[in-house]
Amino acid sequence: MACTQIPDLPLEQFGRDVVNKWIENRVPLSGSLELDLRCNLRCLHCYRDGEWPKGILDTDEVKSILDQVAEAGTIWLLLTGGEIFLRPDIFEIYDHARKLGMLVTLFTNGTMITERIADRLQKNPPEVVEISLYGFTKETYEAVTGIPGSHAKCYRGVELLWERGVPLKLKTVAMRTNQHELADMAQFAEGKGLRFKFDTMINPNFDRSLVPCNVRMSPEEAVELEFSIPGRLEEYRNYFEPRKDYNSSRLFSCGAGSRTFHVDPYGNMKMCLLLREPEFSLRHMSFRRIWDEMFPPVYTRMRTPDHQCNSCNLVSLCGKCPAWSQMEKADMESRIEWSCEVGHRRAEKLGFYDGPVDQYSRITNETKEIRLPVVV
């Protein structure tokens, strides 16, 4: 007989309540660790800016950081690069994170997956391996990556993991070079019962060179591509409906610095992978001190009172991101014209806005006067 003093709480509700409590207490629930900036591909859209200095974290330093983040309460950990399998100690690092009880996601381009690597991942599976496809055909894929033979290696890596039942997701960066093969890549994934996602946002280099943006689609092309996917319109509607009246002057509307963090290959801790400044060295400070003392003044920042985004309630559709602004405009507050127009075009598709979206690449401060109609 069930105890009458203990409420019958569904597991989903229990998990939600627990996570919400952790968020209230600023537990660093998830983080990413950039193991290396080297890569064996030379992709058109990559935001790396040339050669990086030597002095990346060694194995023991990485493991020490993992010990600290696990003690702080981190549950979800992303290992990313560069290409993570260029590091000979990748499995020593991976196994250490798994022994600490963290749920590990691996980002890789898949070209270095061998039978040995696939077997290791089968024996000790991660939460998921995410592989980027840069095209369906050899011609398109290698036009993006710039490396002959990389197409066959990537798709072979996918097969090796899929055959062994390793948790796997496929994704791509949709750009001018490969947008015509998006449906083929999605169908390939669907044929294997795998999830597939794509992103149309392409950032400048970390040195703020706009070269990668040469292959970024126009806002109109990006939104048309998004809404050509069956079911996407309803997904956006369900997402935006409860957020349509939201507007805030907070600079950060995400969890950067309040529940997530990033560590680069040199031990510099940042609030997210794309936000490169400010950074604080884990070689000279503890994780706990950075999390408790250095991050709060940054993620609690407010935009200037007259900022045009303060009164716009499209933030959940445009994806306003301080990191994007920093990369493209060297200022976390700056408006990115591309994402701004994307947000308004999405709203138009959803029937929440009927304004002059073709003019949003030239928005002035008058934007702050625009409000979407309340949809009942």
In this structure, are 111 and 209 located in the same domain? Answer: yes
Q: What is the number of residues in the chain? A: 376
Cβ-contact 318, 360 below 8 angstroms: no
Question: At 152, which CATH number?
Answer: 3.20.20.70
- Asked whether residue 212 carries a pLDDT value surpassing 80, the answer given is yes
In this structure, are 114 and 187 located in the same domain? Answer: yes
In this structure, are 119 and 205 located in the same domain? Answer: yes
pLDDT tens digits, 246-261:
777 888 888 899 999 9
- Asked whether residue 370 carries a pLDDT value surpassing 90, the answer given is no
Say what the pLDDT of residue 9 is: 41
In-domain check, residue 189: yes
- Asked whether residue 29 carries a pLDDT value surpassing 90, the answer given is yes
Model pTM score: 0.88
Residue 299: partners with Cβ closer than 8 Å, 6 or more residues away: 251, 252, 256, 257, 258, 271
Quote the Cα angle for 75-81-84, to 5°: 85
In this structure, are 192 and 237 located in the same domain? Answer: no
Going by C-alpha positions, the residue among 247, 249, 266 that lies closest to residue 322 is 249
Say what the pLDDT of residue 314 is: 82
Chain mean position to CA 349: 24
In-domain check, residue 294: yes
Q: Residue 347 belongs to what domain range?
A: 233-251+302-376
pLDDT tens digits, 254-288:
889 999 999 999 999 999 999 989 999 999 999 99
Classified as helix, coil or strand, 131 is strand
Say what the pLDDT of residue 8 is: 53
Could you count the other beta carbons within 10 Å of the beta carbon of residue 111?
A: 22
In this structure, are 165 and 72 located in the same domain? Answer: yes
> 93-97, 131-135, 238-242: which has the minimum mean pLDDT?
238-242
pLDDT tens digits, 215-255:
999 999 999 999 988 888 888 888 888 877 777 788 888 88
In-domain check, residue 228: no
In-domain check, residue 209: yes
Classified as helix, coil or strand, 45 is coil
Q: Among 241, 272, 300, give the residue marking a domain's end.
A: 300
In-domain check, residue 124: yes
In this structure, are 193 and 318 located in the same domain? Answer: no
Cβ-contact 245, 374 below 8 angstroms: yes
In this structure, are 36 and 141 located in the same domain? Answer: yes
Going by C-alpha positions, the residue among 262, 342, 275 that lies closest to residue 34 is 262
Q: Among 300, 332, 357, give the residue marking a domain's end.
A: 300
Mean pLDDT of the chain: 87
- Asked whether residue 125 carries a pLDDT value surpassing 50, the answer given is yes
In this structure, are 169 and 71 located in the same domain? Answer: yes
Number of structural domains (the chain) is 2
Tokens of 88: 């000979």
Residue 373 binned pLDDT confidence (cut-offs 50, 70, 90): very low
Say what the pLDDT of residue 58 is: 96
Q: How far is CA 238 from CA 171, 185, 191, 342, in A?
A: 22, 26, 27, 18
pLDDT tens digits, 142-199:
999 999 999 999 999 999 999 999 999 999 999 999 999 999 999 999 999 999 999 9
* More confident position, 22 or 310: 310
In this structure, are 276 and 327 located in the same domain? Answer: no
In-domain check, residue 307: yes
Four-residue CA torsion sign, 100, 103, 108, 114? positive
In this structure, are 43 and 80 located in the same domain? Answer: yes
Average pLDDT over residues 83-111: 97
What is the 3-state composition of the chain as percent helix, strand, coil, each rounded to the nearest 5?
45, 10, 45
In this structure, are 127 and 198 located in the same domain? Answer: yes
Q: What are phi and psi of 302, to 5 degrees?
A: -110, 150
Say what the pLDDT of residue 374 is: 27
* DSSP-derived pairing of the beta strands 280-281 and 268-270: antiparallel
In this structure, are 258 and 330 located in the same domain? Answer: no
123 residue type, one letter: K
- As a whole number of angstroms, the distance between CA 351 and CA 133 comes to 33
Phi-psi category of residue 7: left, alpha or beta, with phi > 0 → left and psi -120 to 50 → alpha: beta
Cβ-contact 117, 74 below 8 angstroms: no
The strand pairing partners of 198, in sequence order, are 172
Residue 376 binned pLDDT confidence (cut-offs 50, 70, 90): very low
In-domain check, residue 11: no
Say what the pLDDT of residue 12 is: 57
Say what the pLDDT of residue 315 is: 80
Quote the Cα angle for 332-130-268, to 5°: 40
- Asked whether residue 369 carries a pLDDT value surpassing 50, the answer given is no
Most confident of 102-106, 240-244, 355-359: 102-106
- Asked whether residue 15 carries a pLDDT value surpassing 60, the answer given is no
In-domain check, residue 3: no
pLDDT tens digits, 48-91:
755 566 789 999 999 999 999 999 999 999 999 999 999 999 99
Average pLDDT over residues 304-330: 86
- As a whole number of angstroms, the distance between CA 218 and CA 145 comes to 21
